[in-house]
């Protein structure tokens, strides 16, 4: 007899992972595709594996736990950067539900929704500038961005200069830091 529940979980188009004490115990195909790993590479591993840093992992964990405990809610949602196996950072809208409210991290189900454009409303960036910021955050040089977007190297440099002016920074490192900090701050609004 066919197990329709298992079939629905495995092939649901939404990336889903089941965590027990922040270890990935089960996940669907969409989840492994989103992060670029095989199921075998993720199963029973800490979810820290798909976070950009241990600091991000700890901060998100603290925020989620406080929210779940203080609000006595079964649900938690945020925006955050996550990391693909290839090192790419990407912005997600993440939703979690605890199945054990007395011990929220004991058993949780999470859904990840990739956001292709970072939220940049505070700085009123153009669509092209927002696209370039995402590539800058992922460490691409102006020449690499130009090739990726099929634009001239000089055009990308002009966009980067405009971004730096809008965000009030002087170096690429400051620009990257400001973008990441802005997006993390947005996540907690």
What is residue 5's predicted lDDT score, i.e. its pLDDT?
A: 93
pLDDT-based confidence at residue 188 (cuts at 50, 70, 90):
very low
> Token pair of 162, please?
């405009």
Lowest mean pLDDT among 24-28, 65-69, 75-79, 172-176: 172-176
Render pLDDT for 110-126 as a digit per residue (tens, 0 to 9).
Answer: 999 997 655 445 567 77
Render pLDDT for 82-104 as a digit per residue (tens, 0 to 9).
Answer: 999 998 888 888 999 999 999 99
Q: Which of 106, 112, 53 is nearest to 79 (CA)?
A: 112
Q: Which of 149, 152, 112 is nearest to 127 (CA)?
A: 149
Q: Do the bridges between strand 16-20 and strand 89-98 make them parallel or antiparallel, or are there none, so unpaired? A: unpaired
As a 3-state breakdown, the chain gives helix, strand, coil percent values, each rounded to 5, of 50, 20, 30
What is residue 185's predicted lDDT score, i.e. its pLDDT?
A: 53
Lowest mean pLDDT among 37-41, 147-151, 172-176, 180-184: 180-184
- Give the DSSP H or E segment for 179: helix 172-187
Q: Which of 163, 153, 156 is nearest to 123 (CA)?
A: 163
Domain ranges of the chain: 8-115, 121-187
Quickly name the fold that domain 8-115 has: Beta-Lactamase (3.30.450)
Quickly name the fold that domain 121-187 has: Arc Repressor Mutant, subunit A (1.10.10)
């Amino acid at each position: 007899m066919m197990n329709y529940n298992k079939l629905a979980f495995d092939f649901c188009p939404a990336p889903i992972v089941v965590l027990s004490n922040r270890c990935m115990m089960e996940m669907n195909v969409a989840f492994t595709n989103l992060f670029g790993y095989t199921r075998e590479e993720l199963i029973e591993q800490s979810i820290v594996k798909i976070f950009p840093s241990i600091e991000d992992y700890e901060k998100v964990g603290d925020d989620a736990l406080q929210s779940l405990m203080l609000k006595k809610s079964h649900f938690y949602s945020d925006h955050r950067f996550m990391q693909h196996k290839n090192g790419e950072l990407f912005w997600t809208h993440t939703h979690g539900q605890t199945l054990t409210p007395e011990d929220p991290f004991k058993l949780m189900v999470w859904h990840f929704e990739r956001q292709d454009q970072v939220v940049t409303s505070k700085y009123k960036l153009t669509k092209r500038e927002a696209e370039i910021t995402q590539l800058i955050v992922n460490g691409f040089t102006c020449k690499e961005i130009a090739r990726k977007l099929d634009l001239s190297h000089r055009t990308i440099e002009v966009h980067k200069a405009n971004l730096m002016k809008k965000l009030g920074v002087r170096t690429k490192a400051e620009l990257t830091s400001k973008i990441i900090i802005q997006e993390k701050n947005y996540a907690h609004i």
